[in-house]
Amino acid sequence: MRDRSLESFKEVIKKILDAYRLQLGVDEDVKIKIRRYRTRAAFSNIKTKTIYINKELLDLGEETLKYLILHELIHIKLNTKYHNGEFHSILSRFISPEEITIIRRNISERLLKIKS
Ligand SMILES: [Zn+2]
């Protein structure tokens, strides 16, 4: 996080979350918590419908935030921690595999920098 304040990131995150909730038909309230993690990009608690996002990744850009939120929201929608066929089918409706490869590479590079 450099240029933007945490508050402005939270606004962006809320907009992304609401848009995907609508598109995926997730009616329940979903909470997002931003914390600092050394190795994890994002994860979710399916029972409490809470998505946790690594604060260190916020400034990687909106596409990265979209991917992280969408990914975790699909877990919540399907009520599974697994990446099954249905999971990938929904994900690929919104973000192409090529795009995901680039986003995941950027995330890995950033996480490596935190560890060193
Ligand atoms: Zn996952």
Residue 58: phi and psi, rounded to 5, are -60, -35
Distance of CA 104 to CAs 8, 34, 83, Å?
A: 23, 19, 15
pLDDT in tens, 6-64: 899 999 999 999 999 999 999 999 999 999 999 999 999 999 999 999 999 999 999 99
Give the distance from CA 36 to its chain's centroid: 14
How far apart, in Å, do the first and last CA atoms of the chain sit?
Answer: 18
Distance 29 CA to ligand 1 centre (A): 19
For position 116, what pLDDT does the model report?
60
Distance 1 CA to ligand 1 centre (A): 24
pLDDT over threshold 60, residue 1: no
Distance 81 CA to ligand 1 centre (A): 6
Find the helix or strand (DSSP H, E) in which 21 lies: helix 6-24
Using CA atoms, how far apart are residues 66 and 46, in angstroms rounded to an integer? 18
Domain ranges (residues) in the chain = 6-115
Distance of CA 2 to CAs 19, 36, 51, Å?
A: 26, 15, 23
Distance 11 CA to ligand 1 centre (A): 23
For position 59, what pLDDT does the model report?
93
- Residue 95: pLDDT band (50, 70, 90) is very high
- Can you name the CATH fold of 6-115? Zincin-like (3.30.2010)
Distance 2 CA to ligand 1 centre (A): 27
pLDDT in tens, 97-111: 999 999 999 999 999
Distance 75 CA to ligand 1 centre (A): 7
Q: What is residue 19's three-state secondary structure?
A: helix
